[in-house]
Amino acid sequence: MRSRFHVFLLKMILYLVTIYHTLPFFASVSVSLLNSYLSSSVSFNLDTIYLNWNSTFPAITVCEIYNAERIWDLSDSHFGVEHDMHVDDFISEIVFYRGVCSSCEDCSRMRCPSNFTHLVDVFRTKCHQLLVNCTYLNKLFDCCDQFLPMPTEYGLCFSFNSHQARKVSHVQFTNNRMTGPGHLSFHAAADIQLYVHAPIDVPYQFSEGMIRETVLLGHYKELILNVIEVHNDESVQDLSMEQRRCRYGHEHVPERQGIYDFYSYSGCVVECTVLLQLDNCNCTSHFMAIPGQNYLPVCDVRGLICLTRIRDKIMTERKSCECMSSCEEPEYNIIYNSADEDDEASDEVSEIRVALVELPTQRYVRRVTKTILDFLISLGGLVGLFFNTSALRMVETIVICLRYRKTIVKWVKRFFLGTVQYLQILDQST
């Protein structure tokens, strides 16, 4: 009986020594497996089997830009020919607000209009006046049926094929072998800023990587583009945002201001800027405060003076906004851009054409390389390697311990009491 106990004791000592020496290495390898699973769960692969793809036609956003002559004419008809000319400067900065209102300081000595929404409605060109003769794939359509209003930092713009303007998460205009490369043509009846971007995105100030062109009245502009799609495998959505390092359109940030219906990097930057304005001035610009859509406090003249003073600070802090890229962002590159005309145009409208050069023959596919099952398999193999055990053996150990619990408790008591008695004998002898 005593020899069995000695054998059991030696086995326990051997197990404990082995665990003591292998546990640090096991822990380090396990941490490496976990870090590898978290950091490299997604891979990008080049896909060239393009026959059945649907390629996304870009969103085309048109924003009216400042035109002094139009402001003067409308101001004369609205306020009278004898009105204070400084009011024109104020109206220009309100109607085409860019984050600065230097003329707001003059409102202390002159009477400035206080209803900014009404000013924008009167002095900005309506969609049916701004855009005419729209065609897509040579099919004529009503411009304002597809160029829908969308709030931006530049005011209310009109966007074609935009998720944010249509408030629908799927793309309306796609191209494939049946349709051929898409092309859009339209005429503009005012000076405009033209933005070409992914359907999920929105134009914003200091946007990098977004195609932006100024088209003056009467000029011609043609853009030929190619597109590089990013396709997401269905299993990518099961990963956490930290693993895939991007957000889907329905995954809003906690600080959402309710300006846009779907998440995008550009929309996140705009809403982060609004939050900075609220923190510093307790209000935001009249372009971002949209009645019926959000309940953001709109700045009055004093608020705009505050925004003007902290503009540089906000522009610096917005670079630190924690905004992930979108998982659904095709990339558009210019293949051909018609030259800007230097001479003064005599036409009453500008002609704009945006087209894809061809259907893409390659795209990037975001796939999951390591799932939680892969991690568990690797970890299970590691446990089996170091401790020669498995989940089944662990269950068996628990069952055996429960079955022979009385015997185990008896041996533990004997071992504990024997150790105590031995220590007492040593203490008495000393």
Tens-place pLDDT, residues 271-292: 999 999 999 999 999 998 877 6
Convert the pLDDT of each residue in 332-386 to its tens digit: 999 999 988 776 667 789 999 999 998 888 888 888 777 666 667 677 777 776 6
pLDDT attached to residue 371:
66
Provide the pLDDT confidence category of residue 207 given band limits of 50, 70 and 90: confident
Residue 74 has a pLDDT of 78
* Angstrom distance (rounded) from CA 131 to CA 126: 9
Please say if the pLDDT value at position 2 is more than 60: no
Q: What is the pTM of this model?
A: 0.79
Q: What is the pLDDT of residues 411-430, one digit of tens each?
A: 777 777 777 776 777 777 66
> So what's the pLDDT on residue 385?
67
Q: How confident is the model over 20-43, as pLDDT tens digits? A: 777 777 677 777 767 666 666 777
User: 3-class DSSP state for residue 26?
Assistant: helix
Per-residue pLDDT tens for 134-145? 999 999 999 999
Is residue 358 left, alpha or beta, with left meaning phi > 0 and alpha meaning psi from -120 to 50?
Answer: beta
Helices (H), 113-191: 116-123, 127-130, 143-146, 163-166
pLDDT higher than threshold 80 for residue 261? yes
What integer pLDDT is reported at residue 37 of this predicted model? 64
Sign of CA dihedral 189, 195, 198, 200: negative
Positions of E strands within 297-376: 331-337, 350-356, 363-368
Sign of the four-CA dihedral 192, 198, 199, 205: negative
- pLDDT > 70 fraction of the chain, expressed in percent and rounded: 88
Q: How many Å apart are CA 116 and CA 302, to the nearest integer?
A: 13
Chain mean pLDDT for the chain: 84
Instruction: Read off the tokens for 58.
Output: 């870009």
Cα(42)–Cα(232) distance, integer angstroms: 10
3-state secondary structure of 223: strand
User: Measured between alpha carbons, how far is 213 from 226 in angstroms, rounded to an integer?
Assistant: 17
At 172 the pLDDT is: 87
Place of tokens 């004997």: 414
Q: How many helices (H) and strands (E) does the chain have?
A: 14, 16
**Domain-by-domain residue ranges, the chain?**
55-368
Phi-psi region of 396 (alpha: psi -120 to 50; beta: other; left: phi over 0): alpha
